């Protein structure tokens, strides 16, 4: 059963130091604002997509409740 106040949460993953997580953060923030939403939390990961060790992804999933919106 969804809770009454769904939250928007954003997951950002980069795999190299050259990638710009801040640009991605601003794009997701602008998307949420365009739709009248506020991002309650950002979850930042610096891991290769081929690795299963992603503590921030699992923290996001643990924090999320039914009805929340996840932006990735």
Q: Could you say which of 15, 24, 48, 64 is catalytic?
A: 15
Q: Considering Cα of 61, then 64, then 68, then 72, what sign does the dihedral take?
A: negative
With beta carbons less than 8 A apart as the criterion, state whether 47 and 15 touch.
Answer: yes
Active-site residue, 15 included:
yes
Nearest to 44 by CA among 34, 59, 33: 59
Catalytic residues: 15
């Amino acid at each position: 059963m969804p809770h009454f106040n769904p939250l928007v949460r954003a997951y950002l993953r980069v795999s190299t130091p050259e990638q710009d997580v801040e640009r991605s953060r601003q794009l997701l923030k602008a998307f949420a604002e365009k739709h009248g939403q506020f991002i309650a939390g950002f979850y930042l990961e610096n891991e290769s997509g081929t690795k299963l060790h992603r503590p921030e992804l699992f923290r996001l999933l643990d924090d999320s409740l039914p009805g929340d919106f996840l932006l990735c």
